[in-house]
Amino acid sequence: MSETFVIDIWSDVVCPFCYLGTRQLGEALERFEHREDVVLRHRAFELDPRAKLADDRALAEMVAAKYAIPVSQAHAMHERMERDAQSLGMTWSLETAQPTNTFDAHRVIALASSQGLGDETSERLFRAYFSEGDLVSDHARLNELAREVGVSDVGSLWESDAFTDVVRADEVAAQELGITGVPSFLIDSKFMVTGAQGSEQILDVLQRAWARRAA
């Protein structure tokens, strides 16, 4: 087949289920026999477009306030997610995570994608937030993280509105598709997988999507 098998990934770099789901997708692709034909396309989705650049509250306190639950319950939720992350080879530290606005992080990923480095940059920003306690809205830190994976001209983003239109277009596309939660994986423009459903389930959808285009 000549047409590329595209997986559009709507996610946010501060979304725990997005990081889990992306890792699960990676595991599924390792077992997908047509992996060499797959292209991942990272699409922007802000969990909270009105989020502050910095917040005095700890992540657990914010989660507790959002869902009207005790802080202790939020901590327990985080501990479960950290165990899920460990099962996928990751070490998270949600106690040190710094909630923030992610719009500029999405602009960095869009820039990186234009240079063929979207996968590496998305992963690096996830790790910075969930494992290293970085403030992923800080321009100086974003510059460093992007350069680590080879992205060039990052500093130019802060001197203009470059890639703002790309981020907004991704968000509009999500609305048009009825996407209200992430991660959302649109596979070959036909099958939608939402949430961190597990590598087995994702692999099953990949295989069904391939079979559909081969029919």
**Is the CB of residue 24 less than 8 Å from the CB of residue 58?**
no
Residue ranges of domains in the chain: 5-214
- Which CATH number applies to 5-214? 3.40.30.10
Question: How many Cα atoms within 13 Å fall on the side-chain side of residue 91?
Answer: 1
Per-residue pLDDT tens over the stretch 72-127: 999 999 999 999 999 999 999 999 999 999 999 999 999 999 999 999 999 999 99
Distance from C-alpha of 8 to C-alpha of 2, rounded to nearest angstrom: 18
What is the chain's length? 215
Edge-to-edge strand list for the sheet holding 38-44: 38-44, 5-11, 184-187, 191-194
As a whole number, the mean pLDDT across the chain is: 96
User: The whole model's pTM is what?
Assistant: 0.96
Per-residue pLDDT tens over the stretch 15-74: 999 999 999 999 999 999 999 999 999 999 999 999 999 888 999 999 999 999 999 999
